[in-house]
Structure 1
């Protein structure tokens, strides 16, 4: 299962998220949309090693995640882009390629607004490490999705990430590379693991 860590700048649960249908990782970078909100763009990339695909799993402003706590199915979280400090975000702007709901990265140093909140949809009680899950935008009820549209310059070949109302194979995501927590009865016994692909608990 996935576990959170303390929400400060030194300690984070950091993951890459793979779209199961299109085999691309959720990605962002300091490139802004040329239309819509004009905020930082969010895309999908096939490259495994790109450091711009790391996201930290955090609590919301009103619901903190304590170190080593499992992430529950139905829990609302924020996903903060590690390299730029902006949060995964959505709103009613139209996405540039598919005309779905735009997804962007917003805020500064992990601080944004209520449109940065996403609810984890999974089958059981908690988000399991190997499970494909969905992320429901808490304010608009749209699901984080990819349907395969590709950008040209300056981000040639990267896929558009957007939000859609209906669940489908396009909205399934799995946690991949990252830093994970191993549960322990004692907070002093918690250990961090940084390992590619499938880290076992």
Structure 2
């Protein structure tokens, strides 16, 4: 399936759910593999966002920001496994599990490295890869308090390679992304690094994980 068709299929399904009040797995109280979700930073009330705008400094990769608008389609991320750990559709994401978050509209993965972020000079967070495939710097460990990532729970995302936490501290960009908030990574846990799953499509558990689809690699099934 082409990238263009994948994006349009996902957009259609999301619009269908919003118009007709349908939410796959709405009764679930945990986040599952294969789900397409928005993530809210609860300290700054902004959703994790990306778009086809590159940083003018640092890595020059696709920028990742925070936006206050709840309805922006560029804030959807797909929950996937890694190359080393399968993530079968509908299985709950466990606390301590390493995942990838793939930006739905551009097919690039949430990524970090030791470049300095543009505004705060913390660790840069970008979107990287092509068609959902990047490298080991796309891997994040879910930190939460119980056995699984619960939808109502504030969680943290620890970048596996650098041991820094996905964070927002409130710095805002000017043109061409005026008003959007810098997203970066920081070594110390704080209120700035707490995130909550919000709008999206939450996949129901499969009857048998053995027969489920592996979300280590990008797929779409309707």
TM-score w.r.t. length of structure 2:
0.79
Alignment equivalent of 1:85, drawn from 80, 98, 107: 107
SS of the residue corresponding to residue 60 of structure 1 reads coil
Alpha-carbon distance between aligned partners in 2 of 1:43 and 1:15, rounded to the nearest angstrom: 16
Alignment equivalent of 1:3, drawn from 6, 24, 32: 32
Alpha-carbon distance between aligned partners in 1 of 2:116 and 2:80, rounded to the nearest angstrom: 26
Alignment partner, residue 151 of structure 2: 129
Segments of 4+ moved more than 6 angstroms = none
Q: How does 1:24-43 map to 2 (within 5 A)?
A: 24-43=46-65
SS of the residue corresponding to residue 69 of structure 1 reads coil
SS of the residue corresponding to residue 192 of structure 2 reads helix
Q: Deviations over 1:15-58 (max 9, x none)?
A: 00000000000000000000000000000000111000000000
Distance 1:117 1:186, change over 3 A: closer
Query: Given the alignment of the two structures, is residue 67 of structure 1 paired with residue 89 of structure 2, yes or no?
Result: yes
User: Are the counterparts in 1 of residues 32 and 79 from structure 2 also a CA contact under 8 Å?
Assistant: no
- Please state which structure has a larger fraction of its residues in strand: 1
Alpha-carbon distance between aligned partners in 1 of 2:96 and 2:123, rounded to the nearest angstrom: 22
Q: How does 1:1-201 map to 2 (within 5 A)?
A: 1-5=30-34, 13-183=35-205, 185=207
Distance 1:59 1:34, change over 3 A: same
**What count of residue pairs does the alignment treat as equivalent?**
181
- Please state which structure has a larger fraction of its residues in helix: 2
Q: Deviations over 1:118-154 (max 9, x none)?
A: 0000000000011100000000000000000000000
